[in-house]
Amino acid sequence: MSKSEGKYTTIHYQNYLKLDEILGAQKLRSVQLGDPAHEEMLFIIVHQVYELWFKQVRHELVSVIDFFRDEEVVESSLSTAVGRLRRVESILKLMVEQISIMETMTPLDFLDFRNYLFPASGFQSFQFRAVECLLGLPEEQRMTYHGHKYSSVFPDDQQQELSAIYANGTLLDAVNSWLERTPFLNLDGFDFMALYREAVDSMLTKEREAISQSNYLTDKEKEMRTTMIGGTDTYFKSILDRDTHDQLVKEHKKNLSYEASLAALFINLYRDEPILHLPFQFMTCLIDIDNQMTNWRYRHSQMVLRMIGNKVGTGGSSGHEYLAATAHKHQIYGDFHSISTLLIPRSDLPTLPPSIRQQLNFHFNVT
């Protein structure tokens, strides 16, 4: 018998999926304590499903990070990474929708068994913390848990595993390094930053002129709007001045290095060039995942408010207030969001020289 023949064996659906273990894992504490609560079954299953999805998300993120460990990320790897990140985004969307299933349980239904949950809490979900770490949520950016480090609720081995994710490199680290290595900013005969600065000045001048010539605005409104537009010394300063950007990184207000930020801006501005399609899609995926993580946190906080109001959570946190704050503070890829502030109209975009445009296209040499 050949090796290939020996690999194929029969298996039953029930055994392959370990259904006896999975379907036997719903142990209702209310039943064990002699006070059965019908809704506890739903509560357990919803959270078990979340944990299964967290496992799949971890599986996808680890594979994507591995693609970026090589010095050169080939086109096929980037395409696969985009596909897997789209899957992560879809899972996160489903997780948000899953909250509506939980909300078929009323607050009074929840109170039937809530007292049996102390001190268990969603804060003790190791897998969710692992997902945050893999995505690259900076430790300095995290909200504390009762004044302690976020990982303090886990045993030593799990704390070490979370620390190892940061030590080995997160997706944010990988993306930052990849963007720093991109060759788009070192193109002979094309000084991107000098031309970009001129384009920004031109765009701002046009906007000021449009305001000053408006027949619908008062002088006070014109002054206010002109001030709001600012200039290259306002929000554009973070990209036009390295020292300003580096200071924002030190203050943990930006996560990408200056070089990585420039590369991300270039990719966004010239996204229509064939070779930049996939890099742009990849960055868009990261924004979408960040948005879905924020949606999940916010939607979760609203569900908690609906279920327990302003009560303290079973894990001892401030409940809704804490969760709502994380939705705002635990954003990871805000640097990509802020690039929209730095974009200029296509009509003001510096024209690429033919030789450089050819480098950014797929072309064949026929001999």
pLDDT of residue 69: 85
In a domain, 190, yes or no: yes
Q: Letter for the amino acid at 214?
A: S
Whether 366 is in a domain gets the answer: no
The confidence score (pLDDT) of residue 367 equals: 46
Rounded to two decimals, what is the model's pTM?
A: 0.89
Residues 222, 332: Cα–Cα separation, whole Å: 36
Other C-beta atoms closer than 10 Å to the C-beta of 118 total 11
> Is 25 inside a domain boundary?
no
Q: Is residue 43 part of a domain?
A: yes
Domain CATH code at residue 66: 1.20.58.480
pLDDT value of residue 140: 86
Going from the first residue of the chain to its last (367 residues), give the mean pLDDT of each consecutive group of 10, the final group possibly shorter.
67 95 97 96 96 98 92 85 98 96 94 89 90 94 79 92 96 95 74 90 88 89 83 79 94 94 95 92 97 93 87 58 85 93 89 81 53
Q: Which domain holds residue 323?
A: 37-359
pLDDT of residue 316: 47
Task: Classify residue 302: in a domain, yes or no.
Answer: yes
The one-letter code for the residue type at 135 is: L
Question: Which of 36, 254, 8 is closest to 141 using CA atoms?
Answer: 254
Task: Give ∠ CA 356-235-201 in degrees, rounded to 5.
Answer: 55
* Strand positions, DSSP E, the chain: none
Residue 299 lies in a domain: yes
Quote the radius of gyration of the chain (alpha carbons, Å). Answer: 26
The reported pLDDT for the residue numbered 165 is 96
77 within a domain of the structure (yes/no): yes
Amino acid 366: pLDDT:
44
Question: What pLDDT, on a 0 to 100 scale, did the predictor assign at position 25?
Answer: 97
23 to 20, 48, 119, 189: CA distances (angstroms): 6, 11, 25, 65
Structure confidence by residue, pLDDT tens digits, 16-68? 999 999 999 999 999 999 999 999 999 999 999 999 999 999 999 999 999 99
Domain for residue 255, yes or no?
yes
- pLDDT for 257 equals 95
Q: Give the total number of structural domains in the chain.
A: 1
The Cα 254–Cα 159 span in angstroms is 26
Predicted confidence at residue 74, as pLDDT, reads 80
Kindly state the tokens that stand for 308.
């327990």
